[in-house]
């Protein structure tokens, strides 16, 4: 009999991930702050949990996909939280991008209730979530990872066990440095090309064939060509990740000068009211600085 999976957090990423678990045949119990996505996934065959506590009581494996560290702490350890409904042996898999230190804190609290935890943040954006092609970076006990691997395989293609709890999070923060800096470099390059009078689509085709080619370029090309930046991953969320990165870097004594500049660019976008754009929308600020109209 398939394990019952609880899933809390049905946002841009969580909703398609939950759908892929249903497609793989797993019984699913869902909960989210917004009722619309819950009803949508319920129509696809999931049961509805009334609270994190209720979801935990019905689950063998419980996944969260939430915005930030305080959200995970509240859902896991707060009133009517997972810790209040968990049965001994429950596996808790947090797939959010949060502070690895918070992951370790939550894991220690849940271990006292005989709940095992993995941190398993993902990369690949909305498209990767929809296609079941996410990169999943996992920290925690290897035996627990092995038990959950078939569930991960319903949502992702590159699934890597990296070490103890928290190591998934540190790897995701490294990933987010590369993505943010890459998108900023793409924005600068395309702004230069636009001001020079180059055709954007042809420019992107040329760049993709050389050393400047990247997954970011390939996946965000439709945004750049259409010059519309509807969110696959919001600037607001990446700015949150940049804050986690700088916090961790300071704690570890790691200077990140390029990342610090990019963080301020993302901050400026939010000040301009553009935090809801896709993170490739950093180009809009660079175009403003270059005096280009959109």
Tokens matching residue 182: 């890459």
What does the alpha-carbon distance between residue 55 and residue 82 come to, in Å, rounded to a whole number? 8
The active-site residue, picked from 172, 194, 220, 221, is 172
Q: Is 142 helix (H, G, I), strand (E, B) or coil?
A: helix
What does the alpha-carbon distance between residue 55 and residue 65 come to, in Å, rounded to a whole number? 14
What does the alpha-carbon distance between residue 269 and residue 82 come to, in Å, rounded to a whole number? 36
Q: Is 38 helix (H, G, I), strand (E, B) or coil?
A: helix
Q: Of 136, 123, 65, 74, nearest to 96 (Cα)?
A: 65
If phi over 0 gives left and psi between -120 and 50 gives alpha, with beta otherwise, what is residue 11? beta
Active site residue 116: no
Per the listing, tokens 């759908």 go with: 19
**Total residues belonging to the chain:** 294
Which positions are catalytic? 172
């Amino acid at each position: 009999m398939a394990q019952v999976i609880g899933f809390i957090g049905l946002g841009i990423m969580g909703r398609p991930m939950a759908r892929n678990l249903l497609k793989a045949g797993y019984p699913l119990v869902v909960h989210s702050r917004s009722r619309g996505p819950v009803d949508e996934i319920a129509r696809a065959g999931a049961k509805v949990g009334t609270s994190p506590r209720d979801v935990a009581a019905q689950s063998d494996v419980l996944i969260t996909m939430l915005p930030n560290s305080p959200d995970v702490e509240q859902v896991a350890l707060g009133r009517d939280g997972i810790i209040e409904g968990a049965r001994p042996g429950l596996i808790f898999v947090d797939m959010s991008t949060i502070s690895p230190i918070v992951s370790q804190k939550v894991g220690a609290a849940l271990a006292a209730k005989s709940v095992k935890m993995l941190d398993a943040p993902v990369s690949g954006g909305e498209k990767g979530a929809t296609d079941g092609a996410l990169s999943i970076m996992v920290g925690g006990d290897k035996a627990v990872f092995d038990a959950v691997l078939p569930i991960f395989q319903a949502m992702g293609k590159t699934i890597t066990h990296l070490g103890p709890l928290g190591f998934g999070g540190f790897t995701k923060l490294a990933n987010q440095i590369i993505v943010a800096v890459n998108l900023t470099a793409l924005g600068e390059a395309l702004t230069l090309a636009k001001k020079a009078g180059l055709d954007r689509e042809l420019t992107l085709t040329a760049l993709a064939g050389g050393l400047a080619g990247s997954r970011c370029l390939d996946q965000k090309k439709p945004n750049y060509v259409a010059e519309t930046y509807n969110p696959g991953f919001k600037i607001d969320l990446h700015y949150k990740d940049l804050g986690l990165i700088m916090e961790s870097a300071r704690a570890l004594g790691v200077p990140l000068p390029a990342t610090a500049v990019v963080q301020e660019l993302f901050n400026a976008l939010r000040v301009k009211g553009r935090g809801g754009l896709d993170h490739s929308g950093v180009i809009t600020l660079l175009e403003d600085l270059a005096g280009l109209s959109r």
